[in-house]
Amino acid sequence: MNKVLIIVGDATETVDTLYPYYRLQEAGLEPVVAAPEKRRYQMVLHEVKPGWTITKEWEGYTIQADVAFAEIDPTEYLGIFFSGGRAPEYIRYDKDLLRITRHFFEMNKPVASVCHGVEIPAMAGCVKGRRMATVAKCRFDLEVCGGVFVDAPCVIDGNLVSGRTFHDHGHYVGPWIEMLLKAQAAQKSK
């Protein structure tokens, strides 16, 4: 088993998505882009510009979803990544995405989340008592669902690895990939 889900939707953050996508490939794992439908999605770039108090958004690249949420059998996947951007705010209501998310937490498989990605496991009821990093403006989403906000570039809580924004990718993606490779090795030894 070497497939890893990357969860996206329209307005998924470009760097949040592409950095782990290519790092997974470098590690010999297969990133599988999953979304509400199997089609091309518009990604965005997010940044709080100097002097601004809110996020500025630009269009980024597009990305093709390999599989729709409804088609996913989560037992076929080693781990899952929740990308940031505005997409999680909208796709978190998808019943199949919630089913998939719960599987990874219940089975203790490697999970990673960045920025607004927290909104999906929060909606799925998977963050209660869990320590996580997220962008400061999503702290409420985490805490209202029982999670514990930690302002750090990498937070590891059991099978869950998280970062705040794309600025943290170099801190949390590596430990998550190590976790995936250990899980893969454990699968092979069975």
73: exposed, middle or buried (C-beta count within 10 Å: 0-12, 13-18, 19+)?
exposed
Residue 65 burial (CB count, 10 A): 20
Range of the domain at 98: 3-188
Antiparallel, parallel or unpaired: β 30-35 and 3-7: parallel
Catalytic residue among 116, 167, 169, 171: 116
| pTM for this model (two decimals) | 0.96
Please name every residue paired with 85 in a beta bridge, in sequence order, or none if there are none: 12
Q: Closest Cα partner for 93 from 132, 122, 68?
A: 122
Tell me the two tokens of residue 84.
Answer: 């940031």
Residue 116 a catalytic site member: yes
Contacts of 185 (CB under 8 A, 6+ apart): none
Total domain count, the chain: 1
Q: The domain spanning residue 79 has which CATH number?
A: 3.40.50.880
Task: Give tens-digit pLDDT for 125-183.
Answer: 999 999 999 999 999 999 999 999 999 999 999 999 999 999 999 999 999 999 999 99
Task: Give tens-digit pLDDT for 33-75.
Answer: 999 999 999 999 988 788 888 888 889 999 999 999 999 999 9
For residue 61, which amino acid is it?
A: Y
